[in-house]
A and B are shown apart, each in its own frame.
Chain A
Amino acid sequence: MPGSVSGRLAAASPQAAAPPGGRPCSLHAEIDRFYYEPNGVATLSSIDLRIEGGEFVVIAGPSGSGKSTLALALAGVIPQRITGAGYTGSVSFYRNGLAPVDLSALPLHEVSQHAGIVFQNPEFQLIQYQVDAEVAFGPENLGLAREEIARRVEEALSMVGALHLADHPVGGLSGGQKQRVAIAAALAMQPEILILDEPTSDLDPVGTAEVFETLHHLSRVRGLGVVVIEHKLDEAAAFADRIVLMAGGKIVIDAEPANAFLPTSAWTALGVRPPELALLHEGAPAPIRETAVPLECSAASALYAGVALADCGTAGKDAPLGKGVPAMELADVTLRFKGQRVLDRISFRVAEGEWLALIGANGSGKSSAGAALMGFFKPDSGVAALWGAKVAFGKISLQAQRVGYLFQNVDEMLFCDSVRAELEFSRSIGAAIPTGALTPVEVAELIGLANRMDAHPFQLSGGERQRLALGALLVRAPQGLILDEPTTGLDEEHAVALFELLSRLRSALGKLSCLLITHDLRLVARFADRVAVMSEGSVAFQGAPREVFAKTELLRQCGVRPPTISVLHAMVAAGPVEQVAVSVDEFLARADWTGAMEGKVASRD
């Protein structure tokens, strides 16, 4: 076992030295200042953060608040690999009975054996062909004995529930599986603190919950300190021991989850959306809202027992669904890819002016259905049609005359050197634009980028690039849109901006049809006239959002996690419900708290 680090590790691994759930170590970051650019604004300032072994800490904040930079500093990447223009501070690792180690001064491979990091995109973290080779890569580099490498590989894969994937090729894994392998590869270095930068950004809600459950298990049973940078507070908060909110490079809130989210205005003012249960709790009447915020549905339903919810009715959303002039249609379509059936005799129709949401677990075939409509793939059988005309395979620009397709990764859609050029590019190519179409300037107004016309697309934020890509489609005056995961990776501020843009679009272009492919059930609740739930390549069931979200058991069977507020509605209701509230505002508007209040007042008296 060459190398002193390996020797130390073997002697003092957290698994060996610490009892389950024990806290044998801690990480203490004291960062006075960190600058990326000379004379720029400090990306981190006055940071004082301590993470104990066995603790699960969630760090949230708006884009540009310094979350990811803090993660890099905790993992020693700053200042070891990213020196920036100035760094003053230290990140110290403490283990009981030993002198503290300054991670800022250690080589990166030694830091990773105290504090490991998992990056956002697993695609570029997985270097090897096969899963076991990937996890073994680090221990092999350390020159450990083969038996020790095998033990670490097995242990790390077991920890993340991926032992059965050991001999699988990395390229064939789903996004969630890749993320688990990336976590296992970091764990094989036997860190005592694990830092994860948005590990669930590409995962569906079920995959997200699985990752958080795995991390929670590691923190509780193995004593691993876990730091997660995360936007998805609805899912993450229930697992956390502490919630940290960052803004402007500083920590503005560091508290236990029950006390971290109230008042919610402290979060919303920064453009960060607190969990729905926190928003609901704040809207409840006193004395209920004076209790600790419940962050799980079971706790919330117990607290709100007795709340009567008025019938959600059918107003607004439940116009005849899928009827009228067919705009986009798949009829009995089967599609095989690399020998696997990804679409299995799927049929659905989007009527003119209708907005249909396709939801389902990762791998259920949602994106393939959208791709078949655009002519990316040729179905093995069945017909894909746009406005009654059969989709021509491979003639994508032909389909683009009617339908705009927004990719999940919008960076692949931007080619030009300015916002103006991007908008004019779409207009200058392909078939003639219909008269009356919005001009590039009008589209720039619509997408909120009129004052950034000369900016380079890569100078824009992620949300602005998303809107620009959508704008580049709109200048061609499409009759329909296919939006593939439009809110993935967007923080609350940019998600809200996108929602507002979509609202303006619906108002301005009444006949615009839209196929929303998404995991974001808030987007579905707000915009979809109808929801089709996909499972194993076909539509399992469909209906209006509040009807579909009421079928919590069916959704779970399809691998879909219903919105928290809908689950709570179903749990609080006395009996089975046909429709549920799909937003906090709707829940509050329909709730009669008298029954719940009586119990709380009586117990207080």
Chain B
Amino acid sequence: MLPAIDRWLFHDLAGQTFVAYLITFVVPLFGPALFIKFVGISGLRNVLSYEAGDTVIHRLDPRIKLLYPVFIGICSVLLSWKWTYLLFLLTLLPWLLLRPSLVRVRILAVLVLTPALLSIWSQGLYATTPGDKLIFAFPVTMAWVGTAGLSHAGLVYGAHQAARLLVTSSAALILVFTTQPSDVVWATSRLLAPQRIGLAISVGVRFLPTVFERLNAVMRAAEVRGYDFSRPDTWWKPQQAWDYGRRMVRALPLLTIPVLVGSLRGCHQMALVADSRAFNVNKRRSTLRVIRRSTADRVALALGGGVAAGVAILIATGQGRF
């Protein structure tokens, strides 16, 4: 039985075409499916928002947290993909101290891992060169998709890209989750970056949940007018899944208009408020909150120094160079 299946799948034109179709078109569906199943539009509002807490990460100097994703991002560019994955494991240590809720972990895992996996898949298919070893060569019937097949070198390159994505996301989300918007503005001004950048980051953190809530409200409004966004009860029935996908895609332009109009109106008012409260009038803002250097800050800086030294040694010795 198994040899017959093997022969059909890998040595028969029809079977090879079937597998190629699966690789090309089914794999990318995992992204939206995981998103719909585990996150949803309503879940997005919990993703990019500050979460109050009193952990050591919350208490760190905002400047350290602002520099952290930049530093980690630079390291990930310099290192080879294996070392970048080790760096990713290091970026998980602050998360252990933070102990986010399981719901948030689930949502974050889907949002961070899904693009990473899709990156590996897309590079595996399309980052190929003529001499590459193909794990699965596409038959002639799939020539129209523009790739020779799934390549080993492409997958490795995709893994490298994914590692950079994972590392940077993990570090940046620590900043977003644990830093109050006012502290972001303060940190940017203290690091001599333009205050506008700090305000843009802080306003984004403050209002992204609002935008997602608004999107959720607009979806509900469409539903009360009869539009069906309910998920199919039986995903394994292709027709139901197809109908659901079609309904979602058809709704996108409808939903965009009210969300966009509302957001633009809000932004205009916000800009007026920021202007009337003297934003960017002085090059150096003062601050209500007292931020003093603590032992945790010193430890964080020492760890950062250690990582920087380690990266420098790896690059200098050629072991970890990209």
Contacts and interface: CB of A to CB of B under 8 A. Distances in A.
Interface of A: 2-3, 75, 77, 81, 107-109, 111-112, 116-117, 119, 121, 123-125, 127-130, 132-133, 136-146, 149-150, 153, 169, 171, 185-186, 189, 374, 376, 394-401, 404-405, 407, 409, 411-416, 425-426, 429-431, 458, 472-473, 476
B258 A431 contact: no
Nearest to A140: B285
B284 A153 contact: no
Contacts of B218: 412
Contacts, number: 186
Residue of B203, B218, B276, B286 most packed against chain A (CB within 10 A): B276
Interface stretch (B9-17, B85-93, B222-230, B310-318): B222-230
25 contacts: A112-B277, A112-B278, A116-B276, A127-B203, A127-B274, A128-B182, A128-B202, A128-B206, A129-B50, A140-B287, A141-B281, A142-B281, A144-B286, A146-B288, A149-B288, A189-B277, A397-B224, A407-B224, A413-B224, A413-B225, A415-B222, A416-B254, A426-B226, A429-B225, A429-B228
B180 interface: yes
A138 B220 contact: no
B272 A77 contact: yes
B182 A129 contact: yes
A139 B281 CA distance: 11
Contacts of B265: 124
A163 to B, nearest CB: 14
Contacts of A75: 276
Given A394-B230, A413-B225, A415-B254, A146 B280 contact: no
Contacts of A119: 269, 272-273
Contact of B225 (A185, A409, A426): A426
Given A150-B288, A412-B258, A400 B225 contact: yes
Contact of B270 (A107, A124, A129, A404): A124
A396 B288 contact: no
Contact of A137 (B182, B210, B255, B272): B182
A121 B272 CA distance: 13
Central interface residue in B180, B181, B205, by most chain A CB within 10 Å: B181
Contacts of A429: 225-228
A397 B220 contact: no
B280 to A, nearest CB: 7
Contacts of B274: 127
Given A108-B272, A123-B266, A143-B285, 13 more contacts: A3-B282, A108-B275, A117-B276, A128-B202, A129-B206, A130-B180, A132-B288, A145-B286, A149-B287, A394-B230, A397-B227, A412-B217, A412-B221
B180 A109 contact: no
Contact of B214 (A112, A404, A412): A412
Contacts of B205: 129
A81 B273 CA distance: 11
A136 B221 contact: no
Interface in B218-260: 218, 220-231, 254-255, 257-258
A396 B284 contact: no
B224 A430 contact: no
Contacts of B220: 376, 396, 407
Interface in B30-55: 50, 52
A395 B232 CA distance: 11
Interface string B152-195: 00000000000000000000000000001110000000000000
Interface of B: 50, 52, 180-182, 199, 202-203, 205-206, 209-210, 214, 217-218, 220-231, 254-255, 257-258, 261-262, 265-267, 269-270, 272-282, 284-290
Given A127-B202, A149-B288, A415 B261 contact: no
B219 to A, nearest CB: 9
Q: Which 9 A-B pairs have the closest CB atoms?
A: A430-B226, A109-B278, A138-B277, A396-B223, A133-B182, A136-B288, A124-B266, A141-B278, A415-B254
Contacts of B203: 127
B255 A415 contact: yes
A472 B281 contact: no
B224 to A, nearest CB: 4
B205 to A, nearest CB: 8
Contacts of A171: 209
Contact of B224 (A111, A130, A169, A374): A374
Contacts of B273: 119, 124-125, 127
A153 B288 CA distance: 9
B224 A141 contact: no
Contacts of A396: 220, 223-224, 229-230
Contacts of A139: 286, 288
A397 B229 contact: yes
B225 A138 contact: no
B289 A133 contact: yes
Contacts of B279: 109, 137, 141
B128 to A, nearest CB: 43
A109 B275 contact: yes
Contacts of B217: 407, 409, 412
Given A128-B206, A129-B181, A141-B285, A109 B272 contact: no
* Interface hub of B182, B269, B288, B290 (most chain A Cβ within 10 A): B288
Interface centre among A153, A404, A412, A414 (most CB of B within 10 A): A412
A109 B223 contact: no
Contacts of B225: 400, 413, 425-426, 429-430, 472-473, 476
Given A124-B266, A127-B206, A430-B228, A143 B277 contact: no
B181 to A, nearest CB: 5
Given A124-B269, A185-B277, A411-B258, A397 B226 contact: yes
A394 B180 CA distance: 34
A532 B288 CA distance: 46
A250 B214 CA distance: 37
A146 B277 contact: no
B255 A397 contact: no
Contact of B276 (A109, A130, A412): A109
Contacts of B254: 415-416
Tell which of A132, A409, A431 has the most Cβ of chain B within 10 Å. Answer: A409
Contacts of A150: 288
A14 B254 CA distance: 51
Contacts of B228: 397, 429-430
B273 to A, nearest CB: 5
B286 to A, nearest CB: 5
A133 B202 CA distance: 12
A397 B231 CA distance: 12
Contacts of B275: 81, 108-109
Nearest to B222: A415
Contacts of A426: 225-226
Given A109-B276, A129-B206, A140 B288 contact: yes
Contact of B277 (A133, A137, A149, A398): A137
